[in-house]
Structure 1
Amino acid sequence: MGKSRNQNNVIITGTTGMVGEGVLIRCLNSTEIDSVLVINRKPCGYTHPKLKEIIHLDFFNFAPIEAELSGYNACFFCLGITSVGADDDTYYKMTYTLTMHIAETLSKLNKDMTFCYVSGGGTNADGRLKWQKVKGKTENDLMKLPFEQVFNFRPGFIKPIKEQRYAHKFYKYINWMFPIGRAISPNGFCTMTELGDAMINTLSHNNERRVLEGKDIIALATEPA
C-alpha cells in the first residue's frame, strides 16, 4: 500500500546531462513534487518557482553545503560518466567514490530519504566488464546505507524529451529506431518521460530496496498515483 507525504522535496544531480535534465523537467511539471534542489558545477539554465540551484565545484566534499541539504525526502542521482576512454582509476572514482560520498552525506542528513540511482542496463557486480562490476558494487553498497528506500534504475536506450537542451545530438538521427527496438526488446528501451515519472512514483512506495530493469521502469512509470 502506498503512503501519503505532506511534501515531496527532491534533490537532483546531473541536470546538465541528458538524464538529469529529463528528470528535472518531469519533476518541475509534476504536481507530486513540491520543491527541487539541483547541485551542479555550472548553472543548468533552468528557472522555475519551485527550483533552487547550488553551484558547488567539489563533488567529493559536500561538507561546505551540508547545511543546505536537510529537509529533502528524495534524491534522484543522475550524475555519471561513460567508461569509454576512462582509465580504471578515474572511472572508479567518478562512479563509485563520488556517488557514495554524496549518498552517505544525504543519508546522514535525511533519515526518511528515497535514493534513486541511475545505473545502467547490463550492470552486474559479478560481470566480466570493469564498468559492470563498478556500477554493481555501487548499487550494492547504496542498498546498505540507512535510507528509507533505494531504487537502482537500469535503463538501456533512453528516448529524450523533445525540448531537452542536453540530449546528445545523435539522438535526433536514431530516434526512429525506438519503436522498433521497443517492440523487439522492451526491456532495453524506455522514454525519458517514463524514467522521470518512475522516479517520482517511487515516492508513493514504502520501505523498498529494488533493482529496476527496463520493463520495471515502464511499469512503475504508469503506476496509478
Structure 2
Amino acid sequence: MGQPFMKGVLRECLRDEAVSEVVVVGRSKTGVGHPKLREIVHADLAELMARPGMQEELSGYDACFFCLGVSSAGMTEEAYHRVTYELTLTVARALSAWNPDLTFAYVSGQGTDSSERGRSMWARVKGKTENHLLRLPVDAYMFRPGYIQPMHGITSKTPLYRAVYAVAAPLYPLLRRLVPNQVTSTERLGRAMIAVAAAGAPHRLLGTREINNAAVLHTAVLP
C-alpha cells in the first residue's frame, strides 16, 4: 500500500483549510513542499518512536492517518506480522499516550478477517491489528477500502502497480457507476479520513461505501 495512498491523503490535508499543520513520519521524503508540511524521516520507525524528544515532536495533534503498509506477496507470516501488526501498534501506543484526544485512522483493506482465524495470512494479521487498535484508549477507525485509484498524477514506485493503475484510470468513471461500493480514489480516501477526524463516524469499521459517503459529505468544506 504505502506511498501512493499516503500522498493522496497528504494532498487532501494540505488543501483543506481546516487542517493547520501536517507532520509526515516516514522512511523517505515525500518530495512535496508546503508551508503546512513538516517531515520526519527515519529508516526505522519503531526505533524512531523510542528516541528521546519524540514525545515533544509528536504531541498536540488531533489525528493520525496511518497509511503505511506492504504487500504480503512473498513474505513469511512472521515478517508480515512484524511490519503490519508490531510497527502499527508501536506507533499507535506511543501516539495515544502522547495525544489523549487522538483520532487514529488506519488504512486496512477489504476482506480483513476480524476473527483472526481465517485461511488468508494477510487478512488474519490485518484483523489482529484492527482488533488491538480498537482496544487502545483513542478514537480508532478502520478504513477497509476495496480498489483505490490514485488521482492527480499520484502513482506507485512499483512497476506492476503502476501499470495496473495506468490501465484502470480510464475505466475508473465507469467502475464508479457499475460498482460504486467496490471502488474509491486517493482523493476520496483523504477527504473521508479528514471528515472522520473532524466529526467521527457511526461505526468503527468503514468499508468502501462508508468511505465514499464520508468523502462526499466533506467535499463542501474544501476550497
TM-score range, shorter chain: 0.7 to 0.9
The C-alpha deviation readout for 1:155-214, integer Å capped at 9, x for no partner, is 111111122254742111222332343333322101111100000001222586610000
Partner residue, 1:192: 186
Cα distance in structure 1, aligned partners of 2:201 and 2:71: 31
CA contact 1:155–1:213 (8 Å) conserved in 2 = yes
Cα distance in structure 2, aligned partners of 1:153 and 1:56: 26
Cα distance in structure 2, aligned partners of 1:26 and 1:204: 14
TM-aligned CA deviation for residue 47 of structure 1? 1.1
Cα distance in structure 2, aligned partners of 1:206 and 1:154: 16
CA contact 2:69–2:83 (8 Å) conserved in 1 = yes
Q: Which runs of 5+ in 2 are unaligned?
A: none
Cα distance in structure 1, aligned partners of 2:61 and 2:111: 30
Q: 1:63 aligns with which of 47, 50, 67?
A: 50
Partner residue, 2:63: 74
Q: Which runs of 5+ in 1 are unaligned?
A: 1-13
Matched, 1:21 2:10: no
After TM superposition, the structure 1 stretch with the greater mean CA deviation from structure 2, 203-212 or 109-118, is 203-212
Partner residue, 2:217: 223
Question: In structure 2, the residue corresponding to 1:169 is in which secondary structure?
Answer: helix
The C-alpha deviation readout for 1:18-64, integer Å capped at 9, x for no partner, is 11010001101111211000011121111100000011222122121
User: Mapping of 1:79-94 within 5 angstroms?
Assistant: 79-94=68-83
Matched, 1:135 2:122: no
Question: In structure 2, the residue corresponding to 1:111 is in which secondary structure?
Answer: coil
Partner residue, 1:5: none
Q: 2:147 aligns with which of 157, 160, 177?
A: 157
Normalised TM-score (structure 1): 0.87
Distance 1:150-1:190 versus aligned 2 partners, 3 A rule? same
Normalised TM-score (structure 2): 0.88
Higher helix share: 2
Matched, 1:114 2:114: no
TM-aligned CA deviation for residue 113 of structure 1? 0.4
User: Which one-letter code corresponds to 1:211 in the other structure?
Assistant: L
Question: In structure 2, the residue corresponding to 1:54 is in which secondary structure?
Answer: strand
Matched, 1:46 2:37: no
Runs in 1 of length 4+ with deviation above 3 angstroms? Answer: 165-168, 206-209
Give the fraction of aligned pairs with identical amino acids, expressed as a percent: 40
CA contact 1:32–1:200 (8 Å) conserved in 2 = no
Cα distance in structure 2, aligned partners of 1:157 and 1:99: 22
Cα distance in structure 2, aligned partners of 1:163 and 1:182: 19
After TM superposition, the structure 1 stretch with the greater mean CA deviation from structure 2, 57-66 or 160-169, is 160-169
Distance 1:206-1:187 versus aligned 2 partners, 3 A rule? closer
Matched, 1:101 2:90: yes
Cα distance in structure 2, aligned partners of 1:179 and 1:107: 38
Question: In structure 1, the residue corresponding to 2:46 is in which secondary structure?
Answer: coil
